[in-house]
A and B are shown apart, each in its own frame.
Chain A
Amino acid sequence: MLGIVRQKMLEQSLKKIPPAVSVLRSYSSAAKQMTIRDALNSALDEEMSADSKVFLMGEEVGEYQGAYKITKGLLDKYGPERVLDTPITEAGFTGVAVGAAYYGVKPVVEFMTFNFSMQAIDHIINSAAKTNYMSSGQISVPIVFRGPNGAAAGVGAQHSQCYAAWYASCPGLKVLAPYSSEDARGLLKAAIRDPDPVVFLENELLYGESFPVSDEVLDSSFCLPIGKAKIERKGKDVTIAAYSKMVGYALKAAETLEKDGIDAEVINLRSIRPLDRSMINASVRKTSRLVTVEEAFPQHGVGAEICVSIVEESFAYLDAPVERIAGADVPMPYAANLERMAVPQVEDIVRAAKRTCYRSVS
């Protein structure tokens, strides 16, 4: 469905742009579609092929082809030494992977969900994030921690938390949150190639979503810069900043808002740490209004950080208070109706944007 949304927007933008100027680079006219799952799988495959030091570890990544089939086919292709099925111990395999990274290889560790990463968080923070600093550059940790993050559908409190803010608060880590297949490929490749430890937050519900990908994206050398957000939709009335699945919701909200004459600019953060403060600020200086969207708990979240960044650097440009849309401040309930009310919906984003424009929301 999102694919259709994309195509509609593409057609509209094509109509607006004079024929001399080329098509928006983000959506080239090549109609190839790729699911996030395939995007991640191909990125892993290509990086493992290009660098023999890259290896995968995690529960069920090998024989089972990955709990969510992200690592499908990789065991057969690269063998059990490079695709390691581990015993059930997040603390154990994370510690082991960090030790291997100290030695000089490049592990890509899969958490079945980032909720389980809490059992390994000491190794992520104290053994991975801080080590380059504590060893004053003697020990680098070129490791990637990846897996689904945030809410899925009907999985309850211990499988639904978003960890973006937790990891992004720690210096020494880089934290990425892809949205589209282009993001997934480019950012995962960048993460694997990066000498610093990277937390790569995927989304279970997006794995099956298809997005158009250009030939450039499909090339094995394709890579996106870490620390740069992307403007998914240009606008002038209000900035909506989001990451991961909420980018899709923000784009839908932008469509609804357009019918009411509000032209929203949607920013796909892509990188939570480092946060692309300059792009967000530049956008807010243009629109004067900001709505942040995240599925995570509100307190001490990504939205709060973005808000402070605006207050520190672009306060005079704001025409309205910053609106923060986040998940409900409760552990995720299981029942479908309750779950629906515990995460942001498109209507919440629309109403928030209208509030910043001092429009009635009824």
Chain B
Amino acid sequence: MAFYSKNPRNIINNLKSKVGLWSLMKQSHGTCSYSSCLNTIHLHRFLPLTTLPQFTNPDSISHKKGHFPHFQRFQSTTTEKQIDSVPNGEQSQVLDFPGGKVVFSPEMRFLSESPSVYSQCYRVLDDNGQLISHSNFVPVSEEVAVKMYSNMVTLQTLDTIFYEAQRQGRISFYVISIGEEAINIASAAALTSDDIVFPQYREPGVLLWRGFTLQEFANQCFGNKADYGKGRQMPIHYGSNKLNYFTVASTIATQIPHAVGAAYSLKIDKKDACAVTYFGDGGTSEGDFHAAMNFVAVTESPVIFICRNNGWAISTPTSDQFRSDGIAVRGQAYGVQSIRVDGNDALAMYSAVHSARHMAVNEHRPILIEAVTYRVGHHSTSDDSTKYRPANEIEWWRMARDPVTRFRKWIEINGWWGSEAESQLRSSIRSQLLHAIQIAERAEKPPVNDLFTDVYDNIPSNLREQEKLLKETINRHTKDYPADVPI
């Protein structure tokens, strides 16, 4: 099989003289991510013969699949034509392995474990909210931009207030998404309501965007009678059928293959929609991530994988989590197009997800998006991250790299926002939230029979018996049971 040297520059120079690769690289344009373009250099096994203009056969069908030769089982005829055009100096030995034609080389070269430069990151707004020149992005209307910003502020406020509520002992647990507001809201804004969302647990902003009310968030956290989850789950385990947001589960990365299954079914049903799944850097270590990525490529299902690479999995930094150059580079290993995006740049996130959705739905292909960001908060209210990372690092990211402020600057530059609107928004959200919490706290808890329903579609006789026994016991020993739980 083909090998190549640790120093990719040698390869570039070698190829440059022979096949004019550099000129191609300069010509290649935007649908190919920066990281995948860089990685073209490493494609020794699948020499990008079909992508080189001077060797392109007009009958070639590879273009529709993007810049990489897409090896399907019966494509050997196309590749054969290309091989004829290979200059004699390179090599003449090609073997037909199952899966494609492979070029031999007498030089033993190992694939490098990492690129010499990290894969590039797509960003459109600089740290001061100014548009970077020559950037290409999907334009956003004033209405959508202002809605995005308001939602980001709402999410930030929601998190702050609920966190405080947990600290006051009013709810048992909470997880904040501070620092990741752009990922949450911008990605949600780029999707349609028909797209099915499979979240991890740090994406309440997607629900918020779709219309989950502050009261509904509060009800779930307080586990009261109005909670759609009937008080069965810990706080932040939201779910809503009507908003196409599958209930949060505590298990890590299990939602990733679920998304693939749903997307496969969407494709069979010919729906104009895709599945979207979120997970963190830590989640990519799970077997489920690997299996799902492999599966999605083989089944050609429309899934957008959004990895929030926020640097930390509880106390495990990414250097202890994996040794690859982040997540986007892994896409290629599975045959999935990928891109690395500045997760704190709402405009870049929006553009990337928007384009990804288009590709996923229209071309039935999966896309992997690595959103690079920082987890400003602790992992959850059960964590104190100052124990394993410096407090000044946290502060710096909270202030200097705040995605909300950055986007605010951009909309202010456009004349779509001002300080009055800002203070009005913040005070309004705050009072709405406090009100929602008050109502949720005072509401009745779910009744005892909610303990026994939904285990199965129909309640079985043994559970009916147990329910009866429980009610009798409660009635007999009322003082032993909480007074605020209706029977």
- Whether A87 contacts B246 in the complex (CB less than 8 A), given A126-B251, A274-B460, comes out as no
Asked if B350 CB lies within 8 Å of chain A CBs, one says no
Partner of A98, one of B258, B263, B294, B453: B258
Verify B457–A127 contact, CB threshold 8 A: no
**Residues B178-196 near A (CB distance < 8 A):** 196
- Complex contacts, A94 vs chain B, CB 8 Å: 257
Partner of A131, one of B247, B275, B294: B247
Partner of A196, one of B261, B294, B457: B457
Partner of B454, one of A89, A92, A99, A132: A132
- Whether A99 contacts B258 in the complex (CB less than 8 A), given A87-B294, A91-B287, A136-B229, comes out as yes
Verify A104–B265 contact, CB threshold 8 A: yes
Asked if B421 CB lies within 8 Å of chain A CBs, one says no
- Complex contacts, A96 vs chain B, CB 8 Å: 257-258, 260-261, 264, 292, 295
- CB 8 Å contact bits of B236-270 with A (1 = contact, 0 = none): 01011100001101010011111111111110100
Verify A136–B230 contact, CB threshold 8 A: yes
Verify B262–A103 contact, CB threshold 8 A: yes
Verify A95–B265 contact, CB threshold 8 A: no
Partner of B261, one of A98, A132, A172, A174: A98
**CA A98 to CA B261, docked complex, whole Å:** 7
Verify A138–B239 contact, CB threshold 8 A: yes
Verify A95–B256 contact, CB threshold 8 A: yes
**CA A67 to CA B284, docked complex, whole Å:** 32
Verify B249–A100 contact, CB threshold 8 A: no
- Complex contacts, A227 vs chain B, CB 8 Å: 460
**Residues A163-188 near B (CB distance < 8 A):** 171-172, 174
Verify A134–B261 contact, CB threshold 8 A: no
Asked if B462 CB lies within 8 Å of chain A CBs, one says yes
- CB 8 Å contact bits of A93-125 with B (1 = contact, 0 = none): 111111111111101000000000000001100
- Whether A105 contacts B265 in the complex (CB less than 8 A), given A127-B254, A134-B249, comes out as yes
**CA A195 to CA B454, docked complex, whole Å:** 11
Asked if A64 CB lies within 8 Å of chain B CBs, one says no
Verify B457–A95 contact, CB threshold 8 A: no
- The contact size tier of chain A is 35 or more
**Residues B264-299 near A (CB distance < 8 A):** 264-266, 268, 275, 287-288, 290-292, 294-295, 298-299
- Whether A89 contacts B291 in the complex (CB less than 8 A), given A95-B258, A122-B254, A135-B229, comes out as yes
Q: Which chain A residue lies CB-closest to B257?
A: A95
Q: How far is the CB of A277 from chain B (nearest CB, A)?
A: 8
**Residues B56-87 near A (CB distance < 8 A):** none
- Whether A99 contacts B453 in the complex (CB less than 8 A), given A93-B295, A126-B249, comes out as no
- Complex contacts, B104 vs chain A, CB 8 Å: none
Verify B257–A139 contact, CB threshold 8 A: no
Verify A134–B233 contact, CB threshold 8 A: yes
- Complex contacts, B34 vs chain A, CB 8 Å: none
- Complex contacts, A123 vs chain B, CB 8 Å: 254, 257
Verify B455–A87 contact, CB threshold 8 A: no
Asked if A11 CB lies within 8 Å of chain B CBs, one says no
**CA A98 to CA B255, docked complex, whole Å:** 10
Partner of A122, one of B251, B260, B457: B251
- Whether A136 contacts B454 in the complex (CB less than 8 A), given A89-B291, A100-B265, A122-B251, comes out as yes
- Complex contacts, B264 vs chain A, CB 8 Å: 96, 100
- CB 8 Å contact bits of B440-465 with A (1 = contact, 0 = none): 00000000001001111100101000
- Complex contacts, B246 vs chain A, CB 8 Å: 102, 135, 139
Partner of A134, one of B232, B257, B462: B232
Asked if B228 CB lies within 8 Å of chain A CBs, one says yes
Partner of A99, one of B259, B294, B456: B259
- Complex contacts, B263 vs chain A, CB 8 Å: 99
Verify B288–A95 contact, CB threshold 8 A: yes
Verify A92–B228 contact, CB threshold 8 A: no
Verify A135–B456 contact, CB threshold 8 A: no
Verify B457–A92 contact, CB threshold 8 A: no
Q: How far is the CB of A268 from chain B (nearest CB, A)?
A: 21
- CB 8 Å contact bits of B156-195 with A (1 = contact, 0 = none): 0000000000000000000000000000000000000000
**CA A140 to CA B291, docked complex, whole Å:** 23
- Complex contacts, B298 vs chain A, CB 8 Å: 87
Most B-side CB within 10 Å, residue of A86, A107, A135: A135
Q: How far is the CB of A316 from chain B (nearest CB, A)?
A: 20
Most B-side CB within 10 Å, residue of A84, A93, A100, A196: A100
- Whether A274 contacts B462 in the complex (CB less than 8 A), given A89-B295, A132-B454, A139-B246, comes out as yes
Asked if B122 CB lies within 8 Å of chain A CBs, one says no
**Residues A118-164 near B (CB distance < 8 A):** 122-123, 126-127, 131-140
- Whether A103 contacts B294 in the complex (CB less than 8 A), given A91-B287, A95-B288, comes out as no
Asked if B198 CB lies within 8 Å of chain A CBs, one says yes
- Complex contacts, B265 vs chain A, CB 8 Å: 100, 103-105
Verify A95–B261 contact, CB threshold 8 A: yes
**CA A326 to CA B240, docked complex, whole Å:** 46
Q: How far is the CB of B380 from chain A (nearest CB, A)?
A: 18
Asked if A260 CB lies within 8 Å of chain B CBs, one says no
24 A-B pairs with CB atoms under 8 Å apart are: A87-B295, A91-B288, A91-B291, A92-B291, A92-B294, A93-B257, A95-B257, A95-B288, A95-B292, A96-B292, A99-B259, A99-B275, A100-B265, A103-B261, A104-B265, A126-B251, A127-B249, A133-B232, A134-B237, A135-B246, A136-B229, A136-B230, A138-B247, A140-B457
The 8 closest A-B pairs by CB, nearest first: A92-B291, A95-B257, A99-B261, A99-B258, A100-B261, A96-B261, A89-B291, A136-B230
Beyond A123-B254, A135-B229, A196-B456, list 9 extra A-B contacts (CB 8 Å): A95-B288, A99-B263, A100-B262, A100-B264, A134-B247, A135-B454, A136-B229, A140-B457, A227-B460
